[in-house]
Amino acid sequence: MDTGESVRITLRSIRAHKLRSALTVVGVVIGIASVITFATFGASVEAEIVGDIETSNAGNIYVFGTPSGDDDFDRTLQPVFTEHDIQELEGIAGVQAVLPRGIVQTQSVQHGNQTLARQQVTATRPASFTPGVLVEGRSFETDEEAVVVNERMAGSFSENLTAGERLTMTMPDGSERNVTVVGVVNGTRGEVPVSEFARQPRVYVPIDPFYESVVESPSAGVRQRAYPQVTLVVDPREIPETQSAIQTYLTGASDARSLSADDTELVARSGNDFVEEISDVIERITRFVTGIAVIALVVGAIGIANVMLVSVTERTREIGIMKAVGARNRDVMQVFLVEAALLGTIGSLLGVPLGLLVGYGATRYAEVTFSLAPLWMALAVGVGVLVGVVAGLYPAWRAARVDPIDALRHE
Amino acid sequence: MTEGEPLIAVQSVRVAVSESANTTVRVDGVSKQYDLGGTVTALDDVSLDLSAGSYTAVMGPSGSGKSTLLNLIGGLDTPSSGQVVVNGQDVSAASEAERADIRGTEVGFVFQTFNLMPRLSAVENVALPLVFDDWDRARRRERARSLLSEVGLGDRTDHVPSELSGGQRQRVAIARALSTDPALILADEPTGNVDTETGAQILDLFDDLHAAGNTFLLVTHERHVAERAERIVHVEDGHIQSVEDVSGGEH
Ligand SMILES: Nc1ncnc2c1ncn2[C@@H]1O[C@H](COP(=O)(O)OP(=O)(O)OP(=O)(O)O)[C@@H](O)[C@H]1O
Ligand SMILES: [Mg+2]
């Protein structure tokens, strides 16, 4: 039987029961819209966070120690990567820069007459500040009594810090160091990937003369500076090879290995590893929440099945007529399946824009950039039609099996 | 009347289907039982032939099995035993899908209660059998329109059944029965739901269609309706009691 005709018969039947059909469609709309809402919101959050990380950190490899079985990278980090390790890492093929990072303890940071207590001060190399991250001024140089601050830090004082101004740092022993702010940055090369909104106020200082954590290097036999974390900037075309070479060094002959507790794992993780990990977590959450929304869709499907069963009973006589004039069982089945599929399709066509609208509202509320989840949208429409068809299968099968004589006698 | 003298009734000799070139319907030793707690025998060893172009009426009291016989010939139902052959096709042995095709193309039904699709227009109702016979839409509509003009409803093609009178509805049903140009038209009390005058018009239309070569089998319990046919088959209690020739129509 030609589909056009079954659609025509179906549309007449739907039009004859406008309210009933509309309510059925509403069930599907709610199901599809919830799925789309959660999927788009999840995709938007993911795109936002991953996008932040990806732009600046594609070629970074982060090296740190972590207690075994715990993947949380910012646990208490021990300064185990010695100058000797840094030199060895610099020699690995594909490594373009090695950026050690250390924490310098301060009691407070003072600017003008304003004092901020317990500020995080990070010791690093000048190479951390590429022209790309500099908002104003320049990078400090090694041996310079100068600091670079990030924008959050600059904004932490009632009068914004700018390059050329002076800061006073009070060290743990009470001594004061007067330094010049030579630059303001909006991030650093090789920082641990965090999203823009997770960024903390920071002061950066050159390792010389600020950073003083030293240990005796087992391989060099002398006391050297040691750092809790090292970032390597590597050739983006050779990330996997370089990463495994770094990993081999760390677990093999490194000072860090000898200096770390046995249950500490030394890891080299690429920016992509972080991206994947974060994406994975967000995706899992999205899938879970969307899965819950699917329940709404199932309720919609039950609505369709219910209405279809009523429709089959009501139209028993019509089924008899169709059979009397030559309809095969599958023709009858087709008529009812088309009706169910049509209800599902209308439901998803209305549900998709509604879901997008609510999802857009949610992203605005959460202040993340709205991104589409086209795959989910296609899936939702497909599922809507499928829900209709599946929900219509049993009623349609019942319709097809109606005995024509009984049907013609019906009513 | 030649009561008690069955002329056609018992023909238990097996005749090959191909031999009966002029026979549109062959009913051979057909019985039909219904099991509803006890067994109801609606038809008991009935045999009947209809030749091409003939016009036969079936008469009998209520519950005698007239509709059952019609439904078996039309492939709406299957006999418990015996054989029904319509236009060379063994309806009694056909699969469900084959019977659907036979219903669609070999026979046309006209019912007492019209049985039109309530939400389809006249032209769509007439075209419905052609939908299941896989005609394309343009041809379907053209054929349906010409049939509607033939039965005098050329100006009502887009009306739905509820906008038509009983007589008009029955004419739509007749046009529908003709749509696939079937070998046989089966009418079960086609005048039962219309007034006498309208009934007469419908029977006139049957006469015209018969004259044009169509084969009719008509069920009625009204004598004057049955007399429009060439012969009357009297059924009682599931048996054919007699077959009466109505020559010249005036009896
Ligand atoms: N589906 C069925 N189930 C059980 N019994 C049935 C069924 N259809 C018909 N019968 C029985 O078969 C017998 C013949 O019925 P049928 O409908 O053929 O009679 P009819 O001659 O057409 O009567 P009427 O003039 O009242 O229409 C009746 O006794 C009826 O009760
Ligand atoms: Mg009857």
pLDDT in tens, B212-250: 999 999 999 899 999 999 999 999 999 999 999 987 544
Q: Is residue B159 part of a domain?
A: yes
Instruction: Give the pLDDT score at B164.
Output: 96
Please check whether residue B176 touches A, CB under 8 A: yes
Instruction: Give the pLDDT score at A132.
Output: 78
Taking only residues 69 to 108 of chain B, the set having a beta carbon closer than 8 angstroms to any beta carbon of chain A reads 71, 74, 76-77, 96-97, 100-101, 103-105
Instruction: Give the pLDDT score at B166.
Output: 94
Nearest Cα residue to atom 19 of ligand 1:
B63
Q: Which domain holds residue B182?
A: 53-66+101-245
A320 neighbourhood in chain B, CB within 8 Å: 115
The percent of residues above 90 in pLDDT, for chain A, comes to: 23
CA A262 to each of CA A227, A256, A257, A259, B97: distance values in angstroms, whole numbers, following the listed order: 18, 11, 8, 9, 77
Q: Is residue B157 part of a domain?
A: yes
Q: The pTM is what? A: 0.71
- pLDDT band (50, 70, 90) for residue B8: very low
Residue B4 has pLDDT above 70, yes or no: no
Nearest Cα residue to atom 8 of ligand 1:
B68
Cα–Cα dist B192/B113, whole Å: 8
Cα–Cα dist A109/A210, whole Å: 14
Cα–Cα dist A40/A358, whole Å: 9
Instruction: Give the pLDDT score at A68.
Output: 66
Instruction: Give the pLDDT score at A71.
Output: 54
Most confident option among A293-297, A298-302, B159-163: B159-163
Instruction: Give the pLDDT score at A54.
Output: 66
**What average pLDDT does range A291-310 have in this prediction?**
88
Q: How would you classify residue A314: left for phi > 0, otherwise alpha for psi between -120 and 50, otherwise beta? A: alpha
Q: Which amino acids bring their CB within 6 angstroms of ligand 1? A: B 34, 36, 40, 42, 60, 62-68, 221
Query: For A360-393, how does the pLDDT look when each residue is reduced to its tens digit (9 = 90+)?
Result: 999 999 888 888 878 878 888 888 888 889 999 9
* ipTM, 2 dp: 0.89
- From A314's Cα to the closest Cα of chain B, the distance in A is 12
- Best mutation target among A325, A406, A409 (most B Cβ atoms within 10 Å) is A325
Query: For A122-164, how does the pLDDT look when each residue is reduced to its tens digit (9 = 90+)?
Result: 889 888 888 878 888 888 888 888 899 888 888 888 878 888 8
Look up residue B167 and give its two tokens.
């007589």
Q: Is residue B241 part of a domain?
A: yes
Instruction: Give the pLDDT score at A151.
Output: 85
Taking only residues 13 to 72 of chain A, the set having a beta carbon closer than 8 angstroms to any beta carbon of chain B reads 13, 16
Taking only residues 325 to 364 of chain A, the set having a beta carbon closer than 8 angstroms to any beta carbon of chain B reads 325-329, 331
Instruction: Give the pLDDT score at B218.
Output: 97
A13 neighbourhood in chain B, CB within 8 Å: 119
Neighbouring CB atoms inside 10 A of B102's CB total 23
Helices (H), A59-150: 83-90
Cα–Cα dist A160/A183, whole Å: 13
Q: Is B133 within 8 Å of A326 when comparing Cβ atoms?
A: yes
- From B222's Cα to the closest Cα of chain A, the distance in A is 22
B116: CATH: 3.40.50.300
Instruction: Give the pLDDT score at A153.
Output: 85
Higher pLDDT, B211 or A130: B211
Instruction: Give the pLDDT score at A155.
Output: 84
Q: Is residue B106 part of a domain?
A: yes
Ligand 2 centroid to Cα of residue A411, in Å, is: 16
Cis, peptide link before residue A374, omega less than 30° from 0: no
Q: Is B119 within 8 Å of A16 when comparing Cβ atoms?
A: yes
Ligand 1 centroid to Cα of residue B66, in Å, is: 8
Cα–Cα dist A284/A129, whole Å: 35
Residue of A nearest to B177 (CA): A325
Query: For A329-365, how does the pLDDT look when each residue is reduced to its tens digit (9 = 90+)?
Result: 999 999 999 999 999 999 988 999 999 999 999 999 9
Domain count of chain B?
1
Instruction: Give the pLDDT score at B7.
Output: 44
What sign does the CA torsion over A358, A361, A363, A369 have?
positive
Query: For B15-50, how does the pLDDT look when each residue is reduced to its tens digit (9 = 90+)?
Result: 444 444 589 999 999 999 998 888 899 999 999 999
Residue of B nearest to A320 (CA): B115
